[in-house]
Amino acid sequence: MTDDILVRTEGGMGVLSLNRPKAIHALNRAMVDGMTAALLAWRDDPAIGAVIIDHSEGRGFCAGGDIAFLRNSALTDEGVSGRKFFFDEYRLNHLIMTYEKPIVAFMDGITMGGGVGIADPARYRAATENTRLAMPETGIGLFPDVGGGWFLSRMKGRLGQYLALTGARMDGAECLWAGSATHYLPSAALAEVKAKIAANPDDIPAILHSFAAVPPEPKIAAQADDIARLFASDRYEDILAALEADGSEFAAATLATLHTKSPQTCKVALRQLATSLTLPDFAANMVMEYRICSRVLVRPDFAEGVRAVIVDKDNAPKWNPATPEGVTEDMLDAIFAPLTDSAEWSPL
């Protein structure tokens, strides 16, 4: 087992602690494999009544996936190793979503991209005053994957579409309001909460409830009506036009943000969320997302987006296509098209 993921048991509880503090616990291949192996081993172990996912030191929870590795795959092996990573990461997401025993994710810190993918499917999701949750993939030319299609599309109003397109961050109070968290806990109480779960894994709802704090007013709630109105369309050009015409400070700031994002990713995300609402279950959603990632991984925007954010750090990506109009329906059809049977994603 790798040191990047610390696997242990405490009382009747299995513990998965993300342990890459210098990378804000971003998921790599070994972490995905280690978490999956542990969950499969604990699934039929009568001594384990519940599982928690947390992080070791630092300002985690989890900053996402290993995008430098994925970019290298796109540039050097035509995406082969990157697709393998996504295939197994999505299996982990699905395993958490369908796990028979309760899983508690402690989102005490930065929770982005792949971090959302291992937290959102958990039965219980504890946010704190340190939580900063986002799906920032439009800024790197990827798309809000790891189950984002399922969870974002099912949020109140059009909040999911807003988060998917803008990459906006929510704090712990906003996560509770939006449904991304089931509980809001003070971070100072987490050690005691975990100890009580270890001693009484059957009492998780009562334990979390007893330590829950009253969160501050969720700031995003004040924008909820504007978001529902301005992001009402599944057509990206309509959203941009609505923001342009609105004239409010919120609309102007949002429009400026969207102008920095990958037009391809924004259009992919809107179709992804709309399609997810038509799908029967989470596995079908992951089949769709794997089709998308197989194509988007090796399209120009991903390598360019990661270059701009973490390689050269100039934050000046040159998107291709450069405009929403340049992202055609035919292009989207090709990104969403089925793979050959042998290449399609499947759950464990």
| Residues classed as catalytic | 65, 114, 137, 145
The DSSP secondary-structure symbol of 56 reads -
The DSSP secondary-structure symbol of 203 reads G
Beta-sheet pairing, 61-62 with 110-112:
parallel
The DSSP secondary-structure symbol of 233 reads -
Beta-sheet pairing, 110-112 with 132-134:
parallel
Q: What's the gap between Cα 84 and its chain centre? A: 18
Q: Give 80's contacts (C-beta < 8 A, 6+ positions apart).
A: 73
- Sheet-wide strand order for 132-134: 61-62, 110-112, 132-134, 170-171
Number of Cβ atoms within 10 Å of the Cβ of 247: 8
Contact 147, 205 (CB under 8 A): no
